[in-house]
Amino acid sequence: MEILQTINFIFAAAFFLCYFYQFFYIPAALFKKEKPHKPEKKHRFAVLICARNEEKVIGNLIESIRRQTYGMENIRIFVMADNCTDSTAAAARRAGAFVYKRFSTDKIGKGFALEALLENILRDYPKSWFDGFFVFDADNVLEENYIEEMNRTFCDGYRIITSYRNSKNYGDNWISAGYALWFLRESRYLNGARMLLGNSCAVSGTGFFFCREILEECGGWPFHLLTEDIEFSVHNIVNGEKIGFCKKAVLYDEQPTSFRQSWRQRMRWAKGYLQVFGKYGKSLLSGIAKGDFSSFDMTMNIMPAAVLSVCSVAINSAAAVFALFAGESILPIVFSAAESLFNMYITLFLIGAVTTISEWKRIHTSPVKKIFYTFTFPLFMFTYIPISFAALFRKVEWKPITHSVSVTLAEIREKKSA
């Protein structure tokens, strides 16, 4: 038992050593002032949307783009209707987008769809027609000043920029709230702090920008792993790029509400992190050895938590089985594991509480739900432990996530957020 307690202490210490630096991000995000913007210049942008059976929601996204304060004369909206069996293409055309279609039974996933969309655009438009590209998911909705604010950050010299990710269905249940609170925390206390401290941020799924030069340097869009966003981020970070963050550019996306769908999506993420580390681990470790903090930061965000959690669960489970076969009591093991979980719960609760308090006005649901889902947030995060364990052994393939929350920006704002 003493050996097990020592091992659990080592795991706890390892967690602390890996992630204690993120606690310094909190005061940085709260109190450090932003630098003033450089002089602005109007740029011409292409908006990229890859959609699979998204006829219910894609119209609201395109409407929110067409209502941007930036001016539609500098924006063109492109949709790749990817393996669709519904009227996504027709809905996108009616809303004002230029639509391409793709059907493939072997090249499945957003990375392949995005690659095909860019190939079509570069074929049909001059190479220098667009200064940069925005990437959105079909279920997103944008604040009216989104592109205007992103352009300001682009003018500051950042060639890749990610934005503030909010949720349009925070209050549906504890699952959607768990996702949403994590993304709010990621926006404010990870990417927000990184930006203020001069470190590289990371692209997270949707709502990001890259300039034409980045596309040319990457040779198109060759990112096809299960988490193509993290692959894109790490590829550019290890090649010396500093990804920016624009906190005033706010988008809303839809979070899963069923545990089955959530499990499937996060299983893909967990497997994708392993794939990214397998591909770029050597480069990341080399960057760490050279003193590159951004390489260290990205490594911590894709690997240690999952590995340490899985090892801890495996060792405690093995100890319990051994005790049972040896005829010994497993209560000390249970108490030790419970103590570790309790400490994790308190840590995650504090993270969620700080985020809920600071982002209170941006969370579009009732005050009661805001408070209640702060307590369920750690439980949502605990479900990553079995997901990470399963991802080590299971073959995972990309599968679409169903989106059905069709709301406009005005309807999102109408939700209680006092």
Q: How confident is the model at residue 416 (pLDDT cuts 50, 70, 90)?
A: low
Mean pLDDT of 348-375: 96
- Quote the radius of gyration of the chain (alpha carbons, Å): 22
- Identify the CA nearest to 250 among candidates 110, 68, 116: 68
CB half-sphere exposure, 16, CA atoms < 13 A: 8
pLDDT digits (tens, 9 = 90+) for 234-284: 999 999 999 999 999 999 999 999 999 999 999 999 999 999 999 999 999
Q: Which residues contact 74 (CB under 8 A, 6 or more apart)?
A: 42, 43, 44, 45
Q: How confident is the model at residue 333 (pLDDT cuts 50, 70, 90)?
A: low
Q: For the chain, give the percent of residues with pLDDT over 70.
A: 91
pLDDT at 393 over 80: yes
pLDDT at residue 390, rounded to an integer? 86
pLDDT at residue 365, rounded to an integer? 94
pLDDT digits (tens, 9 = 90+) for 80-114: 999 999 999 999 999 999 999 999 989 999 999 99
Mean residue pLDDT of the chain comes to 91
pTM as predicted: 0.92
pLDDT at residue 319, rounded to an integer? 66
pLDDT at residue 417, rounded to an integer? 47
Number of neighbouring beta carbons within 10 Å of residue 96: 14
List, in sequence order, every residue forming a beta bridge with 135; answer none if it has no partner. Answer: 48, 208
Amino acid present at 114: L
pLDDT at residue 267, rounded to an integer? 92
Could you tell me if 4 and 333 are in contact, meaning their C-beta atoms sit under 8 angstroms apart?
A: yes
For residue 219, give the H/E element and its range: none
Q: Which range among 102-111, 128-137, 300-309 shows the weakest confidence by mean pLDDT?
A: 300-309
pLDDT at residue 323, rounded to an integer? 66
List the beta strands (DSSP E) in 206-285. Answer: 208-211, 244-253
pLDDT at residue 415, rounded to an integer? 77
CA–CA distance, 10 with 41 (Å, rounded to integer): 53
pLDDT at 66 over 90: yes
pLDDT at 395 over 70: yes
pLDDT at residue 408, rounded to an integer? 87
